[in-house]
Amino acid sequence: MKTHSYRLGAALLLLGASAFAASHRNGPLLLEDQTANLNDFYIFRSYESGRSDRVVMSMSAQGFQNPDNGPSYYKFADSVLYRFNINNQRNLDGRPDLIVDFNFHTELRPNPTFVSYFGTIKGIDDPGIFLYQTYTIIIRNVSTGQATVIGTDKNGHPLSVAPPNLGPKSTPNYEATLGQPSVFTLANGWRVFAGPRDDAFYFDSGATFDTLNFRTPAPVLSGSADSGAGAAYPNAVDGFAGYNISLIAIEMPITAVTADGTVPTDPKSSTAKIGAWASTLRQFVTVRPSPGDPQHFGEFVQIDRVGNPLTVEALIPLPMKDYWNRSQPSNDQQFAQFIGDPFFVSGVLQGVFNLKTPPTPRTDLLGVFVPDITRIDLTIPPTPIDKQSRLGPLGGDNAGWPFGGRRPNDDVVDIGLRALAGVLVPGFSNAPPLGDGVNSNDVPTLDHFPFHAAPHAGYLHSQENGTNGKGTVTGQ
């Protein structure tokens, strides 16, 4: 019986692996377009002290950034439109009602060097920042067509991208000097951030992709392996430790995202829940008049999208992934056959392991993933960071994924594994406590905006110093 449980857990973890770890590589065509490749999307009520009346959204792009990959470090693409989509009407049908776009502009300042940053960078306006990026925000009400364009903060400072964390000599005291000063308050009271951060996603990807070469105690967790901090290295390795991502984050009042401009208190109210997702877009035509710079023309078309941390990677067949990435959430009913009757349930769990699973169609999965938008009940108060459960609602903390949005600390791998096994189906109790053994991020996340930890420094980081699961952020 013990052997059967392990094999069952292995099959389920295979499903979860393709679901989550691959969220950083979520379609064949996107492997050729990393600046437009979205990794994760987060939306949650702020748990920063005194700001629980705010909603935070963030998207990450260009995963697996090596912190020492100079002299040309990672940047946002000027040719990509990075978009937040908010759906607050029509019973959350996957059509946006509010759109917030981020447009980036790169200035290569005159200099005689071969590097993007030079000397000790003492602030976000330091002349040693030779690769200087700024951005413009366009807030659009879809129903009225009204648009607001913002390019500076409330004091008139350009909205600039935080530079990378080079190391203790070039970027000393990174977070105080460069990280937090890159958080801008807009004239409308919203806050924004764009720049490199630690990747808050955590998962033992290496063990899983080595043909399910799991490290004890995974994949069936018990005792402290499930309820505690997780297994220590080498029994669990966070494959994302030490890597950075490009993060875009925005904080806005709850009143800005509800259809009637109020803060809902009744969970039965039509305004209590909203849905949101991130997408990237490029213009329809690109001309490369070499040796001149590329030129872009035409309407913007969608390249990638991400709502929940599961859909395209695990539920959509490989030949359809690129098509799915370009499709709109409002049309996700066309994929219901794959989501309501997942192949890994019928083909692996039932077909290989003869496991009793919930009957199809899986309305529990359809309710989460069709349309593929991350839903958040705005009447659920935020949970302070020190009281959060990594398992969200499965751990008694409804302010996490999938009901209360998604927070950086939510263990979406373990939550997703158990959901796929049927734990969300009322009356079904055949889902074992599955997990990968990695129960927390390699470095602590922040209790304040933008919540993702400071980026790892090129001078010293976990993939370099061999900690292999516990990252080192230099210069905070």
| pLDDT tens digit sequence for 363-402 | 999 999 999 999 999 999 999 999 999 999 999 999 999 9
pLDDT value of position 323? 95
pLDDT value of position 9? 40
pLDDT value of position 1? 36
Residue where the block lists tokens 């500076």: 152
What residues have CB less than 8 Å from 200, skipping those under 6 apart?
Answer: 40, 60, 408, 409, 441, 445, 451, 452, 453
pLDDT value of position 21? 40
pLDDT value of position 350? 61
pLDDT value of position 363? 94
- Stretches where the chain sits below pLDDT 50 are 1-22, 352-353, 466-469, 471, 474-476
Q: What phi-psi label fits residue 319: left (phi over 0), alpha (psi between -120 and 50 degrees) or beta?
A: alpha
* CA pair distance 151, 157, nearest whole angstrom: 8
pTM over 0.85: yes
* CA pair distance 436, 449, nearest whole angstrom: 28
Q: What phi-psi label fits residue 158: left (phi over 0), alpha (psi between -120 and 50 degrees) or beta?
A: beta
pLDDT value of position 29? 85
* CA pair distance 411, 408, nearest whole angstrom: 8
Residue where the block lists tokens 């980081």: 461
Residue 377: phi and psi, rounded to 5, are: -85, 110
For the chain, helix (H) and strand (E) counts, in that order, are 10, 12
pLDDT value of position 355? 60
**Per-domain residue ranges of the chain:** 1-32+204-237+310-372+410-444, 40-199+244-308+397-407+448-464
